[in-house]
Amino acid sequence: MNKILLNGKFVDEHEATVAYNDRGYNFGDGIYEYIRIYDGKLFTAREHFERMLRSASEIGLDLNDSVDDLISLVRDLAEINHVSNGGIYIQATRGISPRNHAFPTPPVEPVITGFATAYQRPFKELNEGVSVVTTEDIRWLRCDIKSLNLLGNVLAKEYATKYNAVEAI
Residue 145 has pLDDT above 90, yes or no: yes
Q: Does domain 3-120 have CATH number 3.30.470.10?
A: yes
**What would the pLDDT profile of 14-69 be if each residue is shown by its tens digit?**
999 999 999 999 999 999 999 999 999 999 999 999 999 999 999 999 999 999 99
Which amino acid does the sequence have at 128? E
Whether residue 45 contacts residue 53, with contact meaning beta carbons closer than 8 Å, is answered with no
Catalytic residue among 3, 124, 146, 162: 146
Phi, psi for 49 (deg, rounded to 5): -75, -25
DSSP label of 104: P
9 noted as active-site residue:
no
Q: HSE on the CB side for 53, CA within 13 Å?
A: 14
Residue 166 bridge partners (DSSP): none
Whether residue 132 contacts residue 160, with contact meaning beta carbons closer than 8 Å, is answered with yes
Tell me how far apart the alpha carbons of residues 162 and 130 are, in angstroms, rounded to a whole number. Answer: 15
Pairing of strands 167-168, 132-133: parallel
Residue 139 has pLDDT above 90, yes or no: no
Residue 113 bridge partners (DSSP): 6, 91
Return the domain boundaries, the chain: 3-120, 122-169
Looking at residue 163, its pLDDT comes to 97
Overall average pLDDT of the 138-165 stretch: 94
